[in-house]
Amino acid sequence: MRKWTVADVMTTDVVAVPEDATYRTVVEQLAARRISAVPVVDAARKVVGVVSEVDLVYKVEFAGTAVHRRVFPTRRRSAREKGEGMVARELMTAPAVTADPATSLHAAARLMTEKGVKRLPIVTPDGVLAGIVSRADLLKVHLRTDDDLRQDITDEVLLRTLWLEPLVVDVKVANGVVTLRGHLDRRTLADLTAQLVAAVPGVVAVEDHLTYALDDGDLTGSQWHRSHPFSTTGP
């Protein structure tokens, strides 16, 4: 089953600035493109950092205050130092949080959440800028139509992955929510079916009404319905 990666949703026409780009230039780029951050690249177009609106607003915060210089500058600059910065290399946050094109959408979403970033530069194995992914880009997967999702579930999950005839499992999709009905021979197969359907890119939730003949996951007895972390169940 095909997994969507950031390469499927990233923007390849990326705005980037060189290390010596002036403060005003960076501000103008953000305003012109209506973006909140921009990658900083070296002469080989390798990502060396990111300048965000947060980095830039320090100049407003510290305007008119006494200038302060560190005798031994560190790689991660203080807020005041960024407020005194004049070019991108002095303003940027480094190292940049990046990902490679093969990163899955859920891994990218988790990384952005953990690091608190809104835009994720996508780089090749040697660090060259290849694209950028925003939070809005990650949501593109949920623009897939219900018909597209149903076709993907039928062809990729039921037929090619599980070798199940489409008539065995009834699949209905409404607003990204998938409802599964059918009777399978084993509990593990029913669980796996719901799990794989829930993993199809664009699926919002799974209403799991699958039943089974043999509870091979619990040898103490059989049951008609079950619960698992990938879907909801019902009668």
Give the number of domains in the chain: 2
Shared domain check, 182 and 127: no
Number of H helices, E strands in the chain: 9, 9
**Final residue belonging to a domain, choices 89, 108, 140:** 140
Are both 28 and 88 inside the same structural domain?
yes
What confidence score (pLDDT) does residue 77 get?
A: 57
Residues 179 and 82 occupy one common structural domain: no
* Domain assignment of residue 185, given as a range: 144-233
* pLDDT at residue number 67: 52
| C-alpha neighbours within 13 Å on the C-beta side of residue 51 | 33
Structure confidence at residue 15 (pLDDT): 92
**pLDDT score of 34:** 92
Q: For residue 74, what pLDDT is reported?
A: 47
Q: Is residue 159 part of a domain?
A: yes
Residues 91, 56 contacting (CB under 8 angstroms): yes
Please tell me the predicted confidence (pLDDT) of residue 227: 45
How high is the pLDDT of residue 166?
78
Q: From residue 37, how far is each of 52, 63, 96, 134 by CA, in Å?
A: 4, 21, 11, 10
- Rounded distance, CA 150 to CA 147, Å? 5
Structure tokens, 39: 């990658």
Q: How far apart are CA 120 and CA 184, in angstroms?
A: 42
Say yes or no: 57 and 156 in one domain. no
Q: What is the domain-level CATH number for residue 28?
A: 3.10.580.10
Is 1 inside any structural domain?
Answer: no
Both 224 and 160 in one domain: the answer is: yes
* Same domain assignment for residues 13 and 29: yes
Mean pLDDT by 10 residues, the chain (235 residues): 88 95 96 94 97 91 61 56 89 95 94 94 96 94 95 95 92 97 96 96 96 79 44 51
pTM recorded for the entire structure? 0.74
Q: For residue 165, what pLDDT is reported?
A: 86
Asked whether residue 94 falls in the same domain as residue 157, the answer is no
CB of 50 closer than 8 Å to CB of 121: yes
Bond preceding residue 95 cis, omega within 30 of 0 = yes
**Residue 126 sits in the same domain as residue 22:** yes
